[in-house]
Amino acid sequence: MFEQWSLTDVLAGVAGAVAVAYMGFELSRRQRKLRDLFNVLDGASAEMTRELSELVASGALRPYSTVAAGLSRSAAGQRGRPRL
């Protein structure tokens, strides 16, 4: 069986295996990089956020809104288009 394989067949197979392994490594690296960038909540903060979301969903709390608080856009720290 191995007698029929030429050197180019073996090299192509090795190159293909290396390419697939590199793609797997690169995907894992990018996923880890994104996870490190976006996972800013530790366990306690994530639990508190989950509980607050449940309180909002149940109606015990209302989400904060600058309109409901009576703040203007500039008082809320948001920049609007300059008025002429």
Task: Give domain limits for the chain.
Answer: 1-40, 41-79
**pLDDT score for 1:** 57
Q: What is the pLDDT of residues 48-84, one digit of tens each?
A: 888 988 998 998 988 777 665 666 555 555 555 555 5
Q: Cα Rg for the chain, rounded, in angstroms?
A: 28
Q: Are 56 and 63 in contact (CB under 8 A)?
A: yes
Backbone angles phi, psi at 67, to 5 degrees: -70, -45
CB 22 within 8 A of CB 16: no
pLDDT band at 40 (very low <50, low <70, confident <90, very high): confident
pTM, 2 dp = 0.44
